[in-house]
Structure 1
């Protein structure tokens, strides 16, 4: 299997094409026209939000609050520095890490926003079963196909947030994607609805949302909330280490980015390895390698998970893939799997405590799958 000579993406990675020099279209940006158009639209929308007068209703924006470092950092900014009237919306994902819940509790104590907790365990579990238990995707795969479970989960609670903002006439929804994620996320509320219908079909979509989404398809643009990405304004100096340091100094964050991840992280890797022979964070790791290759003295982070400069991406992917598929099949020794996982995550600069926390979630993958009704090979 050939790989990109710059970032190590495999030639059959979803959406990847290698040129005659062995360089992928991610590195040459041949794929990026639509993504860059979205980036410009997103930047313009955030500028409008910054310049907008106070909304006529109770809130200036609905703020998507997950308890992760990025959303905690920006929620603090919105309320305590920018003076925005914020409805902090948290969807109680049934697979949320305990550390994220702890961070949310800290924010409730220290940030004077209005907090709302939403949930719909049955329907989001139904959707995730559908994603994982589908037949193998058709090849050739499209860009981001390996992340379908994660994208579907995010779209589910985004749509619930859009419906809430729409009903309460809140003009903006703030989503704290990091600068790299912004490039790959839809920024138009109506298009998010359309994409969900395309992915899951009319019957399941209407079942999951009680037929409410159809109204969003046909209402006028000015009546739909606009999605803004606050980190678009700081894309050139985004620094996850600094963000964590500032939050800890304020007593707003007590975990690491790896620890705050959802408990489906192991299953997301299982899906990626099973269907596309790649780890879930392969695009992120390859982007890091691309950054280092372009600037030998500086590797600016544009994404939430930091990778060490000397990371052996191919080695990490190979070791992680073997242990993930062995755990999924119920094979091998649990203690040996744990040692391998801890070593892999520590090689990615995780502390031993964080590495063991994440390793435990991988070891529990079959239990989580059984609870959700997900069939493992």
Structure 2
């Protein structure tokens, strides 16, 4: 298998093409024009939100999508401190880890926002079962390896859009990090249409029970706008500093690698089974690309920090073997656990964080059985 000479993406990565120079389309900046268009729009909406005064149509200036992660906690604290009237909206995902719940409790105790909890365990589980069990199309489009994660996020973003529309809240704050720009749709109608395209009219209507039509036919002035603060301020994004500030305020206790999603092992299984890549391959490839272009580059690419000396191809190969073995019920759990701990420590995780994530992987078959996801 060929790997890109600039960033280590493989030739089988969905939506990535290789040129005669051995570089992939991302290293050749083929997506630059689309990125610039998205950046301009997100900058404009962000500046509009920052200039806006109190919402004259309701009690909240924004609906803030709060996950309990470092990005959303840091920005929530900032906006509330600046005087914004914030509804901190959390969708209670049934596959959230205990660390996310701990961070949410810290925020509720220390940040004076109005916290709202929403949930639909049956609906989101049904949708995720559909994503994991359906056959995929090859060779695939860019980001197809992240379809389960993108679908989950889109589900609760639509729930948030419906809530903001009903309560006349003009802005929805979504703390995607700068690398996620190509996975995010900024127009609320297109968010809905995209869900229709992936899941069809029947499932979409069943999951959202007619609320979608109100959004599609509403006047533009009545629809909320999605604000991406970290994308608009991408050059200032420094996760290490953010985590230090949050821990100093008692607002964050976990490590960034200790993902808040229990489905991380299944997300890796999906990526490996269908496209031969680990789930965070694009993030890691972006880091390799940055280091190659600037030897003095000393930060994480964005939300995940990778060691400068990382042998990405070897780490990915080791992770693929253990993930597929666990999925098949092969090998000894103790051996798998040690292999996973070694892998995550190579990715710069502290020992406790490495063990925490490794145990999530060992539980993969039980989580899949609970959700009705088939492991082939």
Q: TM-score, normalised by structure 2?
A: 0.98
For the 8 Å contact 2:172–2:226, the answer to whether it is kept is yes
For the 8 Å contact 1:291–1:300, the answer to whether it is kept is no
Deviates more, 1:340-349 or 1:176-185: 176-185
| Distance in 1 of aligned mates of 2:80 and 2:20 | 51
2:134 aligns with 134
Determine if the alignment matches structure 1 residue 103 to structure 2 residue 81.
no
For the 8 Å contact 2:14–2:145, the answer to whether it is kept is yes
Counterpart secondary structure, 2:22: coil
Deviation string for 1:151-181 (max 9, x for gaps)?
0000000000000000000000001111111
| Distance in 2 of aligned mates of 1:207 and 1:164 | 17
| Distance in 1 of aligned mates of 2:2 and 2:166 | 51
Deviates more, 1:183-192 or 1:29-38: 29-38
Measured after TM superposition, the shift of residue 240 of structure 1 is: 1.1
Measured after TM superposition, the shift of residue 234 of structure 1 is: 2.8
Measured after TM superposition, the shift of residue 358 of structure 1 is: 0.2
Counterpart secondary structure, 1:5: coil
| Distance in 2 of aligned mates of 1:319 and 1:271 | 16
2:168 aligns with 169
1:69 aligns with 70
| Distance in 1 of aligned mates of 2:170 and 2:270 | 36
Measured after TM superposition, the shift of residue 221 of structure 1 is: 1.4
| Distance in 2 of aligned mates of 1:218 and 1:54 | 26
1:277 aligns with 276
| Distance in 2 of aligned mates of 1:255 and 1:42 | 29
Counterpart secondary structure, 2:89: strand
| Distance in 2 of aligned mates of 1:198 and 1:302 | 31
Measured after TM superposition, the shift of residue 117 of structure 1 is: 0.3
| Distance in 1 of aligned mates of 2:139 and 2:365 | 29
Query: What is the 5 A alignment of 1:239-250?
Result: 239-250=238-249
Counterpart secondary structure, 1:255: coil
Query: What is the 5 A alignment of 1:1-377?
Result: 1-56=1-56, 57-80=58-81, 82-135=82-135, 137-377=136-376
For the 8 Å contact 2:283–2:301, the answer to whether it is kept is no
Work out the number of aligned pairs and report it.
375
Measured after TM superposition, the shift of residue 33 of structure 1 is: 2.5
| Distance in 2 of aligned mates of 1:20 and 1:299 | 30
Measured after TM superposition, the shift of residue 49 of structure 1 is: 0.6
For the 8 Å contact 1:36–1:183, the answer to whether it is kept is no
Deviation string for 1:11-33 (max 9, x for gaps)?
12011011110011101111332
| Distance in 1 of aligned mates of 2:367 and 2:218 | 39
Q: Which runs of 4+ in 1 moved over 4 A?
A: none
Measured after TM superposition, the shift of residue 365 of structure 1 is: 0.2
Measured after TM superposition, the shift of residue 300 of structure 1 is: 3.3
| Distance in 2 of aligned mates of 1:72 and 1:59 | 18
For the 8 Å contact 2:257–2:353, the answer to whether it is kept is yes
Measured after TM superposition, the shift of residue 182 of structure 1 is: 2.5
Counterpart secondary structure, 2:26: helix
- Structure 2 gaps of 5+ residues are none
For the 8 Å contact 2:42–2:232, the answer to whether it is kept is no
Measured after TM superposition, the shift of residue 104 of structure 1 is: 0.3
Measured after TM superposition, the shift of residue 114 of structure 1 is: 0.1
- Structure 1 gaps of 5+ residues are none
Deviates more, 1:285-294 or 1:216-225: 216-225
The alignment's C-alpha RMSD in Å is: 0.9
For the 8 Å contact 2:107–2:251, the answer to whether it is kept is yes
Q: TM-score, normalised by structure 1?
A: 0.98
| Distance in 2 of aligned mates of 1:105 and 1:260 | 17
